[in-house]
Amino acid sequence: MLFNSYLFVFIFLPVSLAGFYLTAGKGNGKAARLWLLAVSLWFYGSFQIGFLLILAGSAVFNYGIYLLMAKRRQGRRGVLTAGIAGNLALLAYFKYAGFFLENLNRLCGTEFALLKLLLPVGISFFTFQQISFLTDVYRGDVEECGFTDYFLYIAYFPKLVEGPLVNHEELFPQFAAVGRKGFEPERFIQGVMLFVLGMMKKVILADTFGGAVDYGYSELAAMHGSDAALLVIFYALQLYFDFSGYCDMARGVSRMFGIELPVNFNSPYQAADIIDFWKRWHITLNRFFTRYVYIPLGGNRKGKAKMYRNLLFVFLLSGIWHGAGWNFILWGMLHGVLYVATRMWQERSGKRPGGNGIQADREGNRNENRSRNENGNRNENGIGRYAGRIVNCMGRWLHVLATFLYVSVAWVYFRAESVAQGNELLAKLFRNDFVRVNRNLAGYFNLDEFWYVLKVLRLDQWEFGHYILMAVLTAGSLLLVFFGKNAAQLAERMKPKLWNAALAAVLLFWCVLTFSEVSTFLYFNF
């Protein structure tokens, strides 16, 4: 069951909300928690009943590991190791067995039959979440936990299949508070708007760019340099709108239940360097690797050389986590190498390249003071008053653009089916064949509701009329990701007023009209 489906919007969500608020005041919230667990199992089982059995089996196994650690004072490390190994074995079997056998056959000349396994939806997310829980139990950070609450923590449907990754201390207190507070109109309308804005990201923007991307990669031999350049940008926008759109929808749905999920994206394409990017992109995954991999390896406490090694190892794991393929490993290392290089630069210079907004203001003030000392007369006339800030602001946005372009090029290997296909696309960027954009590629942007306007204005008869909507949607999307506020910031402004409800209804209706061309979320495959 997808968030962007008739079944979810018109049946599942209304039934879930109605049942939750009808039971919220009963049994000190226990009835509402059981209801949330029931609808979560319904949600996950709708993908395939076998997936639900795997999820339940994984939860029972991990809860058993928790009980063993809770009862023991000695040998807890061994129990934790067994628990983590069991989780990784399940993940490796479904996600990496085929990749391992394929490379083993290639290297050793063997002929092992490749496993054709259907990857359970969200297995990477609920596996990592359970590993984090067991680790926190070992550290003594988890108080007594019943199985129902634990299973709800793992299976809670808004974040189950695509995140965000949530730590136990973020959800358990909120589950315990269920039923102690009533319906909150302001929070509810904010949740509705966050859900609708996330859906618009997905069905209006991500799926539009996605159609062009799928066509371009399937017809790569027919693409020219101009087409390849656009495909790089299109996929960067598609992936952001798709994944952040899902997380916005998940946070919006959860907020309707009065439960807050952590922010997973914070305008990442506004980052001025790769380190800033990873503080804004998939924030909860970055937090997981920092807390459960980087710091246990020693973090930055054992010298710079080991710190850089630890960072590279984290990005190697990130690549492997995202997919079973050398292209994902290469993607991870492209980020890791630049991350380490940027960290080295910071260590030497003592400042961040480009800086954030606060850093930019400080740099601007220093430049302004320097300008006053050297050019007092001009400052009196106001000529040099803002020069430092303008120069620094321009420098920062050059860093933002450079970071975006680097990340977008690295995304090529994230999207490509192999390293070779990624290389083929990037090679086209360096060929001198930047001709008019492929007409079929542009055709994916001619959405019916907009294309009709062009026909009325007779712009479709213009030689370049077929490219108008592609240019408008691409330029508008770039302006949005570089300068606009994100969905979370916009939703926070919503108040329970009639016009806000009407706006949400109109936007939702627009999204629903596109459900006939619905597509799954990209991270369902990870």
Q: What is the pLDDT of residue 378?
A: 47
Q: What is the pLDDT of residue 112?
A: 76
3-state secondary structure of 462: coil
The residues near 78 (Cβ < 8 Å, ≥ 6 apart) are: none
Q: How far apart are CA 67 and CA 76, in angstroms?
A: 11
Task: Out of 66-80, 108-122, 426-440, pick the least confident.
Answer: 108-122
DSSP H helical segments within 139-224, as ranges? 147-155, 157-160, 168-176, 185-200, 207-218
- Across the range 230-247, mean pLDDT stands at 96
Q: Do you know the residue count of the chain?
A: 526
Higher pLDDT, 49 or 464: 49
| Model confidence pLDDT, tens digit, residues 50-90 | 999 999 999 999 999 999 999 887 889 999 999 999 999 99
| Model confidence pLDDT, tens digit, residues 162-219 | 989 999 999 999 999 987 777 888 899 999 999 999 999 999 999 999 999 999 999 9
Task: Out of 144-153, 227-236, 297-306, 446-455, pick the least confident.
Answer: 446-455
**Domain range list for the chain:** 6-183, 187-272+412-525
| Model confidence pLDDT, tens digit, residues 134-165 | 999 999 999 889 999 999 999 999 999 998 99
Q: How far apart are CA 32 and CA 258, in angstroms?
A: 12
- Across the range 284-296, mean pLDDT stands at 96
Q: What is the pLDDT of residue 233?
A: 97
Q: What pTM does this model have?
A: 0.89
Catalytic residue among 168, 282, 322, 466: 322
| Model confidence pLDDT, tens digit, residues 441-481 | 998 898 877 777 777 777 777 778 788 899 999 999 999 99
Residue 322 annotated in active site = yes
Contact 166, 159 (CB under 8 A): yes
